[in-house]
Chains A and B, each alone.
Chain A
Amino acid sequence: MVTPKKTFIINGAGASSGLTYGLARIVYSWEKTVGERVLSKAEIEPEMTRLDNAINETLLEINRWKKMTGGKAGGPIGRIFDTQLMIASDQDFLSKVKDSIRSRQRNAEYIYSLEVEKTVEPLKNAHDEYMKQMVHEIEAVSKMVVSHLRGHTERDFGPFPTDTIIVGRNFTAAEILSLYDRKAKGIVTAEGSATSHMALVARSLLIPTVVAAQRAHLRIRSGDRLIIDGDSGEVTVNPEESAWTGLVRQRKTLSEMPLARLKRLPQLPIKTADGVEINLAANISLPGPVDDILSKNNIGVGLFRSEFIYLQKGNFPTSEEQFEIYDHVAATYHPHDVIIRTFDLGSDKYHQDDQFAQERNPALGWRGVRASLDMPGQFRRQIRAILRASHHGNVKLLLPMITDISEVKKAIGMIRRAMVQLRKEKIKYDPAIKIGIMVEVPAVALNAAEIIPKVDFLSIGSNDLAQYVLAADRDNQRLNKIFNPLHPAVLKLIQMTIDAAHAAGKPVSLCGEMAGDVLAIPLLIGMGVDSLSMNPARLYHVCNLITRLRINDAKVLAAEVLRLPTVRDVESRLLEFNMSM
């Protein structure tokens, strides 16, 4: 009998959303020692040519990644590679390397790695994530140079079976991009952070990822079974047989990488079994390879979380930087909608050392439009960038965290003034751009009839709405039992919002996690939500579900569920409905 392997859990940080399982494959990359070889006098000059060739190949390779990610217009991901190009072509550094090859008579890969070590040594002591990111960037280039010196064009990943979860100390953005067309189901790294470039790329490829899982590459062995949760950051190694088979059975659909699944989406708009069109849209954080696939499938962006541009840069982007990104996204998705939500900073989205981090009660604090209205210069810059992008695509503007009509009026006033300014400068924009608000604060849901005449559409943020209605932090594990968007009180507010909007002839979308939840969808459709915007990884399941749904059944279900007294009753009725479909 085989002794079962010991089960243990490593707690890291979630860096790219999604739950997945698979077999671990440990990848050692940077740690691989670079061999030292003594050169004869005659070998020295050819060694210089070898180095120059490797540098040229590295530059070609970086340019390939840059092109693949949309280059400069690709926003933050494209820019990673601009910095890497500068590092690879640093003449001052290269002449230092060449001098050292001559004087020490050692091989190029050995000396190059040694000089890189010397350069990054002082940076390794920096405690700041952005300083550490520089080390990672330099090492990423060094890795490419060394591998080209050795004659490899590919990194060390090699072929692997489809149910693989890649585990390592840390990976570079390019290494993760090279997984693009392969079937890595997940990524676990021992180091790194959710703001790193690697994490950014993993998110853009929809690969569930956990970073900062302490010593994961040493504690996990190749072939171990893993369950990883890219939201909570939990990595379960060798789970108990029952948990594993249960997951494998229930989550058959998890066996494929979400990006591969997206390519098999049916053409949208999707229709219910009885022929009613349902609008589906995607939530995105930054431009990425997923955009082309979605756009080709007639899917627009229901929620572009612009604050990720801030989080990635570590500071407010200029109006021009924002314009490039918004414009690129608007053009990619044209003629479909791109709903850009203005910065929703504060609460759980901030940098450790910045002004948003000082609050004791941040969910109830200075966040979203509250902060934007207090920083009129920044807000104007963002509005201007969004308006300019509206000329090239179907852009809509969405205001987060609205509590009161006065905020809506102020924001709209600023948008009108920005339009006047653009007209003066003869810059084109869409003068009929649609302006909407998020419904997350219960006050807005309760008072919707007052605010609706001022705006063109509403978007319900079900996570925040539930957190505020139930007074339960959605990330607090101890409150798991209390936090639930299916609570009857939350459902009542959602229904009130929909009714008020429809009475005024305005559409309502829902963009929280609920929009991708197969239990909640029949209910939401029955309640009359006009569109559902979700994590792109959920689209495939949601399409499958909708094609089996009848609109009348959904309406009957909604009428019934809204009368149920407890969240348990709601859940069991929805489960029952789901099973009967």
Chain B
Amino acid sequence: MYQKMAQVINRLGMHARPAAMFVSHASKFSSEVWIEKNGLKVNGKSIMGVMMLAAEKGSQLIISAEGEDEQRAVESLVDLVHDGFGDLKDL
């Protein structure tokens, strides 16, 4: 098992679109993926789960995975969160 912390930085948090992006991205890996916030841990490939976290801007997440590509999965999902799901603006 491999895990890493990530902080939600985009202004609107993980609302419907980012949640959908996270799930589609996580589903590309064969490993099982979880995402955890304040002790609530959900399946990272389940959109209902990820939405349920209601992760607003500033939320601390723990992203973990278990399986063959666990390290790649976690690293690239952390990147996705830190990129603000492509929502970052260049001010």
Contact = CB atoms under 8 A, between A and B. Distances in A.
Interface of A: 79, 82-83, 86-87, 90-93, 119-120, 122-123, 126, 128, 130-131, 133-134, 137-138, 313-316, 318, 353-355, 375, 377-378
A211 to B, nearest CB: 18
A55 to B, nearest CB: 13
Contact of B16 (A90, A122, A134, A315): A134
B63 to A, nearest CB: 16
Interface string B45-56: 111110110101
Contacts of A378: 89-90
Contact of A377 (B45, B49, B52, B90): B90
B91 A313 contact: no
B76 to A, nearest CB: 18
B54 A122 contact: yes
B54 A92 contact: no
B11 interface: yes
Nearest to A380: B90
A134 B51 contact: yes
Given A92-B48, A128-B13, A378-B90, A86 B56 contact: no
B58 interface: no
Q: Which 10 A-B pairs have the closest CB atoms?
A: A92-B46, A377-B90, A130-B15, A93-B48, A92-B43, A86-B47, A315-B87, A130-B12, A314-B12, A134-B51
B46 A315 contact: no
B32 to A, nearest CB: 11
Contact of B15 (A120, A314, A353): A314
B82 to A, nearest CB: 16
A377 B91 CA distance: 8
B51 A119 contact: yes
Contacts of B24: 86
B70 to A, nearest CB: 18
B20 interface: yes
B15 A133 contact: yes
Interface string B1-37: 0000000001111011101100110000000000000
A112 B16 CA distance: 20
Nearest to A133: B16
A356 to B, nearest CB: 12
Given A91-B46, A315-B12, 4 more contacts: A83-B16, A133-B15, A315-B10, A316-B89
Interface of B: 10-13, 15-17, 19-20, 23-24, 43, 45-49, 51-52, 54, 56, 86-87, 89-91
Contacts of A375: 89-91
A83 B20 contact: yes
Given A92-B43, A131-B56, A378-B90, A83 B17 contact: yes
Contacts of B46: 90-93
A355 B11 CA distance: 11
A93 B87 CA distance: 28
A90 B12 contact: no
Contact of A128 (B52, B56, B86, B87): B56
B79 to A, nearest CB: 16
Contacts of A315: 10-12, 87, 89
A2 B52 CA distance: 52
A355 B89 CA distance: 11
A78 B91 CA distance: 29
Nearest to B43: A92
B54 A123 contact: yes
A385 B34 CA distance: 36
A422 B56 CA distance: 38
Contacts of B11: 314-315, 353-354
A123 B54 CA distance: 6
A86 B15 contact: no
B54 A131 contact: yes
B86 A318 contact: yes
A87 B48 contact: yes
Contacts of B23: 86
Contacts of B43: 92
A122 B91 CA distance: 33
A83 B13 CA distance: 16
A134 B15 contact: yes
A375 B86 CA distance: 16
B89 A122 contact: no
A90 B56 contact: no
Contacts of B86: 318
A138 B17 contact: no
10 contacts: A82-B20, A83-B16, A86-B20, A87-B48, A90-B48, A119-B51, A123-B54, A138-B48, A353-B11, A375-B91
A122 B14 CA distance: 14
Contacts of B17: 79, 83, 313
A134 B22 CA distance: 15
A130 B18 CA distance: 11
Contacts of B20: 82-83, 86
A378 B20 CA distance: 24
Nearest to A354: B11
B58 to A, nearest CB: 12
A378 B88 CA distance: 10
Nearest to A79: B17
B48 A126 contact: no
A92 B15 CA distance: 19
Contacts of B15: 128, 130-131, 133-134, 314
Nearest to B47: A86
B52 A122 contact: yes
Contacts of A353: 11
A329 B86 CA distance: 24
A137 B56 contact: no
B6 to A, nearest CB: 19
Contacts of B52: 119-120, 122-123
Nearest to B52: A119
A313 B20 CA distance: 14
